[in-house]
Structure 1
């Protein structure tokens, strides 16, 4: 394979703390520095959460605005993807940053179990978030924690709730949700290609020690890869990851081994059908 591989870096998330790994970037300044290093290592999508003054997850649009502005200044061309995840807020507060018009935003289209609670994505909220993304020209990344979420994304696409062909990310390894199962993974790929076309781009994310497993599977199967300290704070059983960039470099080495170049930001935008920055 010679198709470029997009590397997404999930820089912070809602759960990891500096007690888990001192390299986890919490403040806006730390996130900017960590993301710039990851961008220079080959990441072309930054999946972003923000924290409040106490380090707790929040959906505060002002904090998202500051992060987005800094990323666009220091990482020109980087695809900024803001999270509408449920750990950072409730109800429509989860989409309060969408008027900022980031390139992308995460969209979970169904509910599932998480380690200690239910990750609730009720249909009316999913519909509202999708409409907000349409209104503000934000491309959703469908976070599929279950096969039904891929089918729901197809239904929404056919109904016009998602404008462009959906970009689906398989999330595997969350405790109490879908484990990292190779046969299920292969069926996910089959389903995406059946519903959205043989050339439909897709991505995969593995949680904890499954991160490197899913990087291998996705890159080897022609998909795109997500890495970063949100999903996994370790390089291996014995070593903490020193940075987001270290995890990006690891994914880049896997791509090299499979004969796939790491996508530039221009290639990533072309693959995903995203607008080019005005200064490009």
Structure 2
């Protein structure tokens, strides 16, 4: 267990839609401002998606990313982590277009194909800002996020081997840990592995404390001292699970991608608000919040100067 704790902030994501919260950042200016405020509040890693500024739809277009990436780099030393997950409705080539162009220090990588069911969210609203939102959510009852071993190997080659990125390995279930071990055994990745345990997405492992303990036990068995773990939980379990992770020696992820709320029935008004809340908790637990420089050292990152934005 290290005293230093990395706080990741996932700023906007591709799950929530604009109707769900007026505070969800959509435009490039909003995403940049939210990211910078989260970094100032204590997030050393910024996990970033893009959106179409006209309608808030998740976007993988490089031009949408490039509208905010340089601003974040110029005004902050936070580690930029670009999603390779994009949205489950995108092809792999679409999902990789922006990170290949930007060559960030970090990318996220989902370690398996899975059901990604968002349709329960559709019943929570009746008046929609955009006509794409409700069909997008309802259609997820027949939606599979595809990330086969061939896809994973392709990502590791194009972004890891060829462009020097390190990864936030997103593991939504125990089988994803074994897939990660498989690629380690193939020599496709090297430690230290930064593993993000993901709980509470319908299609993945549930947000039960026993599951967090089990994922940690299995990661210990499979990776020994070669990994660090972080935890995110969707929705109302965000802060409770982050608190448990911090107490167990892990790292944490918060942000409006994972939860729109700051308390029961209370919308978070910013990403920074969530970062500030978990920062206070982890510091009261005796942990020291890692700076971006600390995170780069802990994860073996290539440095912001070797990115292309």
Superposed, 1:79-228 pairs within 5 Å as 79-87=79-87, 89-99=90-100, 100-115=102-117, 116=141, 117-133=143-159, 134-198=161-225, 200-228=227-255
Per-residue deviation at 1:114?
1.8
Per-residue deviation at 1:197?
2.5
Would the aligned equivalents of 2:36 and 2:75 in 1 still touch at CA under 8 Å? yes
Change (3 A) 1:137 1:256: same
Is the partner of 1:32 in helix, strand or coil?
helix
In angstroms, what is the RMSD of aligned CA positions? 1.7
Tell me, in whole angstroms, the C-alpha distance in 2 between the residues paired with 1:253 and 1:18.
29
Would the aligned equivalents of 2:84 and 2:107 in 1 still touch at CA under 8 Å? yes
Would the aligned equivalents of 2:198 and 2:232 in 1 still touch at CA under 8 Å? yes
Is the partner of 2:196 in helix, strand or coil?
strand
Per-residue deviation at 1:19?
2.1
Deviations 1:16-71 (A, max 9, x none): 23321111111111011111111110001111000113211111122223322111
Greater percentage in helix: 2
Per-residue deviation at 1:196?
2.2
Tell me, in whole angstroms, the C-alpha distance in 2 between the residues paired with 1:108 and 1:259.
31
- Structure 1: unaligned runs, 5 residues or longer: none
Deviations 1:171-221 (A, max 9, x none): 001123211122221121122222222362111100000101211111110
Tell me, in whole angstroms, the C-alpha distance in 2 between the residues paired with 1:156 and 1:55.
35
- Structure 2: unaligned runs, 5 residues or longer: 118-140
Is the partner of 2:269 in helix, strand or coil?
coil
Per-residue deviation at 1:86?
4.8
Per-residue deviation at 1:278?
4.0
Corresponding residue for 2:36? 36
Would the aligned equivalents of 1:98 and 1:138 in 2 still touch at CA under 8 Å? no
Is the partner of 2:18 in helix, strand or coil?
coil
Corresponding residue for 2:136? none
Aligned residues, how many? 278
